[in-house]
Amino acid sequence: MIPAAFDYYRPDTIQDALALLQTHGDDARVMAGGHSLIPMMKLRMAEVPHLIDLQAIADLRGITVDGATVRIGAMVTQHDIIQSADLARAAPILREAALQIADPQVRYMGTLGGNVANGDPGNDMPGLMQCLGAEFILTGPDGTRTIAAREFFEAAYMTARAEDEILTAVTFAAMTGGYAYEKQKRKIGDYATAAAAVLLTKEGGRCATASIAMTNLSDVPVWSQAAAETLVGTDCNPDAIKAAMAAMDGDIDPGADNRGPVAFKRHAAGIVLSRAIARAWSRA
Amino acid sequence: MSKKMQITLTVNGEVQELLAEPRELLIHVLRERLNLTGAHIGCETSHCGACTVTMDGKSVKSCTVFAAQANGASITTIEGLSTPDNLHVLQNAFREHHGLQCGFCTPGMITRAAQLLADNPTPTEEEVRFGMAGNLCRCTGYQNIVTSVLAAATEMSAAREAAE
pLDDT per residue as tens digits for the range A90-140: 999 999 999 999 999 999 999 999 999 999 999 999 999 999 999 999 999
Domain membership of residue B130 as a residue range: 89-163
Read off the pLDDT of each residue in A45-53 and give the average, rounded to a whole number. Answer: 97
Residue B25 shares a structural domain with residue B49? yes
Q: Which CATH number fits domain A7-53: 3.90.700.10, 2.60.40.10, 3.30.43.10, 3.40.50.2300?
A: 3.30.43.10
pLDDT at B1 > cutoff 80: no
> How high is the pLDDT of residue A189?
87
Q: How many C-beta neighbours within 10 Å does residue A258 have?
A: 5
Give the CA angle between residues A206, A279, A76 to the nearest 5°. 115
Contacts of A22 (CB under 8 A, 6+ apart): A141, A164
Q: Which CATH class is domain A58-173?
A: alpha beta
Out of B80, B98, B120, pick the residue that ends a domain.
Answer: B80
Q: What's the gap in Å between the CA of A226 and the closest CA on chain B?
A: 36
> In this structure, are B123 and B144 located in the same domain?
yes
What CATH number should be reported for the domain holding residue B124? 1.10.150.120
The average pLDDT across A6-25 equals 97
Q: How far is A267 from chain B (nearest CA, A)?
A: 27
pLDDT above 70 (res B37): yes
Please list the residue range(s) of chain A that carry CATH number 3.30.390.50: 178-283
Tens digit of pLDDT for each residue in B14-36?
999 999 999 999 999 999 999 99
> Which tens digits make up the pLDDT trace of B67-108?
999 999 999 999 999 988 999 999 999 999 999 999 999 999
Residues B69, B96: one domain?
no
Judged by CB atoms closer than 8 Å, whether chains meet at B133 and A188 is answered as yes
Query: How many domains does the structure of chain B reveal?
Result: 2
Rounded CA separation A91/A83 (Å):
13
- Which part of chain A is CATH 3.30.43.10? 7-53
Average pLDDT over residues A49-64: 98
Question: Does A79 sit within 8 Å of B134, measured CB to CB?
Answer: no
Report the percentage of chain A scoring pLDDT > 70: 100
Phi first, then psi, for residue A65 (nearest 5°) are: -115, 105
Mean pLDDT is lowest, of A1-5, A15-19, A226-230, for A1-5
| Closest residue of chain A to B72, computed from CA coordinates | A56
Q: Domain with B69 in it: what CATH number?
A: 3.10.20.30
The partner residues of A146 in beta bridges, in order of sequence, read A137
**Cα of B148 to nearest chain A Cα, Å:** 19
What pLDDT is attached to residue B98? 97
Does residue B104 sit in the same domain as residue B123? Answer: yes
Q: How far apart are the C-alpha atoms of A102 and A76, rounded to whole Å?
A: 16
User: Which residues, 6+ apart, have CB-to-CB distance to A257 below 8 Å?
Assistant: none
Question: Is A261's pLDDT higher than 80?
Answer: yes
Considering just the CA atoms, what is the radius of gyration of chain A in Å?
19
User: How does the average pLDDT of chain A come out, rounded?
Assistant: 97
Q: By the 8 A CB rule, do B70 and B26 touch?
A: yes
Residues B122 and B156 in one domain: yes
Amino acid letter for position B88: H
Tell me the mean pLDDT in the region B30-49: 96
| B73 and B93 within one domain | no
Residue of A nearest to B52 (CA): A105
Q: Where are the beta strands (DSSP E) in B21-84?
A: 52-55, 58-61, 74-76
Answer whether A138's CB lies under 8 Å from A161's CB.
yes
**Domain A178-283, classified CATH 3.30.390.50, yes or no:** yes
B50 and B116 in a single domain? The answer is no
Of the residues B80, B99, B127, the one at which a domain ends: B80
Sheet hosting strand A135-140, strand order edge to edge: A63-66, A69-73, A166-173, A135-140, A143-148
> What are the start and end residues of each CATH 3.30.465.10 domain in chain A?
58-173
Is there a single domain that holds both residue B61 and residue B13? yes
C-alpha A113/C-alpha A169 separation (Å) is 7
Nearest-angstrom CA–CA distance, A11 and A80: 22
The confidence band for B9, taking pLDDT boundaries of 50, 70 and 90, is very high
| Distance, CA of B22 to CA of A127 (rounded, Å) | 34
